[in-house]
Amino acid sequence: MRIQTLTGATIQAALLEARRRFGDDVVLLESIPPQGDQPARITIMVDERLEMPEALPYGYGAALARAQKAVGKTTPAANDTAEVLVAPQASPEKPAATLNGRGQLFPQRTAPPAPAPSATAGSAEVQLERLSRRLARLERQLGSALVGTSHRWLAHPLATELLRQGLRSATVIRLFDRLLAQGFDPEQPEEQLRWALAREMRRQLSPTTPRPLQGTLVCIGAAGSGKTSVVLKLARHPGFFGRRLVAVLVLMPEEVESQPYISPVDLYRRFELPVQTVSRPDEMAAALRRLQGFDQVLIDTPSLPLLEGPARRLLLQLRQLLSPIVPLQVLFTLNATTNLEDLPPEFLQRLPLSPDALVLTHWDEVRRPGRLYDWLVALARPVVCLSSGSRVPESLEAFSPTAYIEQLLRL
């Protein structure tokens, strides 16, 4: 496979040129719409075996010959087969082998490796998890960029609009294929297709419909996601808890107290909210006795690590502290501007405190809201509200899947 970059008056024109030159089996990696005097640009991945090369510009053939001569190679014929040499992997039980100048193998005498310290093992675990996420991210990007039999939809103005909003090309193709299965055709009036597309997208987003908040709420989220701000706005917003008496618990497990963590207790007191900190199970029991006269309890927590190992350890400690509280609803606060590739839905679904619902924060800073569509569909959790700005509590509003789709489709 090799990477190619093409330009055109529009993204659709560049895609058509890519399919004309390389066939339909191309992988779209990136598309940038035209800006000012700059043409549209796409980056694709092409199978070299299927490539239909054009004549090299003047001078390139001579440069290629000089480069091949410098490295002592000649271009093989199309039907020739090249021998691929693979370096043998050293077995853990046997010493590695090296080659001398005459090409004979001799065992390499090396001392047995010293046992790695525990810190190295922890670092290796972190690196493996990061590598796994990067590979999964690449797989999703390639899968979303495949241009197949439904590529004709990508030239439709509605498809272009959704791509600009941040939806993946594979998602756009699936949505329009659903319309095709329902009897719609690309040649129909755009307004009819727009409303049909809105109904299909609304159907897929039905799991995100908000539900009433019930029981004690515990708010979890990564650093910078706005957990404390959400708890504060919920506690003060009359549209969520009305005239109910609200108190706040701040969980600070003993293992976390040694780490940098700014306690939000003073902030809650500044807004005249009753607040208590809890570090141990006996403190939780005492706090619950003191909170029996309140109608609603909101719980703030330390920042959630984005690596699964540390995240599980923290949430297991929190779950132990929260075990006396029934019913318990877990709210996950997501910074809507974050890189969603670093926070796959499968990661949240495997956590010891898996989210029951979502709160989307920093909504006023989102430039391409469509990039959240696939993530919300995959997680399939209700979205309680949106947080935009820092005003308490006015900047908190209920989430509407219908309004979100109308924003994407400009209805």
Question: Average of pLDDT values for 255-281?
Answer: 82
Residue type, 46: V
At 303, give phi and psi (nearest 5°).
-65, 140
pLDDT at 105: 37
Q: pLDDT tens across 111-166, in order? A: 445 544 444 445 666 666 666 666 665 555 554 444 444 456 677 888 889 989 99
Asked whether the bond before 327 is cis by omega within 30 degrees of 0, the reply is yes
In a domain, residue 390? The reply is yes
Same domain, yes or no, for 143 and 225?
Answer: no
Same domain, yes or no, for 173 and 290?
Answer: no
Same domain, yes or no, for 250 and 376?
Answer: yes
Same domain, yes or no, for 316 and 235?
Answer: yes
**Domain end position, chosen among 37, 52, 67:** 52
pLDDT at 135: 63
Give, for 247, the enclosing helix (H) or strand (E).
Answer: strand 246-251
Question: Average of pLDDT values for 73-97?
Answer: 39
Same domain, yes or no, for 346 and 221?
Answer: yes
Whether residue 338 is predicted with pLDDT greater than 80 in this model: the reply is yes
Q: pLDDT tens across 19-78, in order? A: 788 876 677 777 888 887 788 888 887 765 544 444 344 344 444 455 445 544 444 433
Question: Average of pLDDT values for 381-402?
Answer: 94
**Domain end position, chosen among 14, 32, 52:** 52
Instruction: Quote the percentage of the chain above a pLDDT of 70.
Output: 71
The domain of 28 spans 2-52
pTM above 0.75, yes or no: no
pLDDT at 139: 54
Same domain, yes or no, for 275 and 217?
Answer: yes
Distances (CA, A) of 377 to 163, 209, 221, 291, 381: 17, 11, 19, 37, 8
- Provide the domain count of the chain: 3
pLDDT at 156: 84
Report the first-to-last Cα separation within the chain, whole angstroms: 41
Give, for 250, the enclosing helix (H) or strand (E).
Answer: strand 246-251
* pLDDT mean across residues, the chain: 78
* Parallel, antiparallel or unpaired: strands 296-300 and 246-251: parallel
| Rounded CA separation 305/122 (Å) | 15
Same domain, yes or no, for 165 and 290?
Answer: no
